[in-house]
Amino acid sequence: MNHLLRGHAPLSDRNWKLLDEEARQRLQGALAARRLVDFSGPHGWEHSATNLGRTTLIGTAPCDGVVAAQRRVLPLAELRAEFSIALSELRDDDRGAPDADLEPLDRAARQIAIAENVAVFHGWEGAAIGGIAEASPIEPRPLGESGEDYPRSVARAVEALRERGVEGPYGLALGPDEHLHAIETAEHGGYPLMDHLAKILCDGPIVWAPGVRGAVVLSLRGGDFLFESGQDLSIGYSHHDSEAVHLYLEESFSFVVATPEAAAPLSS
Amino acid sequence: MGFDQYHEPPEELPAETRTFARLCASLEEESQAIGWYQQRLAVEPDAEARAIMEDAQGEEFKHFSMDLEFLLRRTPRWRQIAEGVLFQDGDIVEHGEAAEAESGEEGDDADSAGAGDGSLGIGSLKEIP
């Protein structure tokens, strides 16, 4: 048994399967950053820092005649979203109930996915993580009031990347409101907006990105945005009482923007 | 046939499983090539030709190792078993049985995700068009 202590939870194998599958489904739809940036790992819970390959000079060396420096690393950050499931729901699941109430798990999954997306796209100062949109030297342009404005804005963002020598294919992260506008809009002649945007992106993905403000166009060529996973998203056990089992979703990760000019933010 | 690596209808498979299957097929091809070069080297008397084939086999070693590392990173339980077997002195079968048993214990121990680290096994969701 590892640090997640899953074996101590009063859950049957069937219960764990139900919870893991529910969490996986909820998370895969909302983890927008993982659809667009490079992913390394998982390197394990013991993995504590990302190598930055840089040093800081140390003013005082142990003795004269030597120069001292210290390696710089980016410590991994941990995210945890706690939730509780009623034991009665899990016993019903054991009996074959197809409609166990997993709403607390769904909320936790959404929150931790949003937290990951926000850290990657807009940064997380407390964890020394710079976000893609904030790191970009390209001045944010408005995405537009309506969906019909999006193709022009996205095309200009792609052009801004090309002008800086950043090749495609490109991906587009859209905040929830912007994504809704995009899917419900048909341009003149009934041509679906999403198809038009995909063509502009060289057939790159258009991703629903809860937590993203506005939109971000970024290159998918690789090597520009580096997500390093320690422990990948997991469900762990905290404690239980007579009414409920108290669990959590948890992960550890770092994120580094290696090429700030490989993304162009668009404001809402 | 370009789609032989799929045992199930590709359109029903998630993207990460299709990627996994492609790398499994690649791993198989690289190991096959390593075996072919080994046989050619065993019978080739020309030193210059042997040097070329040894160099080519080295490339296949590299390709095989990269494929394997990718698959192990995406499959925590496989990785856990491999860690108990690879680069260990002693009896290979004993190491294999022990590593499998250890991973099985964790698997029975509330690890329904099938990942040796107990995670949900989500990993990367990136697809390049």
Residue ranges of A 17-46 with Cβ closer than 8 A to chain B: 17, 20-21, 23-24, 27-28, 31, 34-39, 41-42, 44-45
Q: Does A80 touch chain B (CB under 8 A)?
A: no
Distance of CA B4 to the CA centre of its chain: 17
At residue B115, the pLDDT reads 54
At residue A113, the pLDDT reads 97
Q: What contacts B57, CB < 8 A, 6 or more positions away?
A: B33, B34, B37, B38, B41
By Cβ distance, the residue of A28, A41, A45 closest to B125 is A28
Q: Does B118 touch chain A (CB under 8 A)?
A: yes
CA triple B4-B9-B13, angle to 5 deg: 105
**Whole-number percent of chain A with pLDDT over 90:** 79
At residue B108, the pLDDT reads 44
How close B74 gets to chain A, by Cα (Å)? 8
The pair of three-digit structure tokens given for residue A118, joined into one six-digit string: 């926000």
User: In this predicted model, what pLDDT tens digit does every residue of A112-155 receive, in sequence order?
Assistant: 999 999 999 999 999 999 999 999 999 999 998 887 889 999 99
Work out the pLDDT band at B111, boundaries 50, 70, 90. very low
CA triple A236-A241-A247, angle to 5 deg: 15
Residues of B in contact with A206 (CB under 8 A): none
Q: What contacts A237, CB < 8 A, 6 or more positions away?
A: A4, A5, A6, A8, A9, A245, A246, A247
At residue A192, the pLDDT reads 79
pTM (2 d.p.): 0.73
Q: Does B58 touch chain A (CB under 8 A)?
A: no
Which chain A residue shows the shortest CA-CA distance from B104?
Answer: A1
At residue B114, the pLDDT reads 42
Q: What are the distances in angstroms from CA A89 to CA A13, A74, A92, A127?
A: 15, 41, 5, 37
Q: Does the pLDDT of residue A158 top 70, yes or no? A: yes
Residue from A134, A141, A133, A143 nearest A178 by CA? A143
Residue from A263, A159, A169 nearest A217 by CA? A263
By Cβ distance, the residue of A24, A28, A234 closest to B118 is A234
φ, ψ at A78 (rounded to 5°)? -115, 140
How close A139 gets to chain B, by Cα (Å)? 26
By Cβ distance, the residue of B111, B125, B129 closest to A6 is B111
Residue from A20, A11, A15, A9 nearest A232 by CA? A20
At residue A69, the pLDDT reads 95
How close B115 gets to chain A, by Cα (Å)? 10
- What's the first-to-final CA gap in chain B, in angstroms? 21
Average pLDDT score, chain B:
86
Region B89-113: what's the mean pLDDT? Answer: 72
Q: What are the distances in angstroms from CA B47 to CA B25, B37, B59?
A: 32, 14, 19
At residue B10, the pLDDT reads 81
- Tokens 């770092």 locate to A254
Work out the pLDDT band at A182, boundaries 50, 70, 90. confident
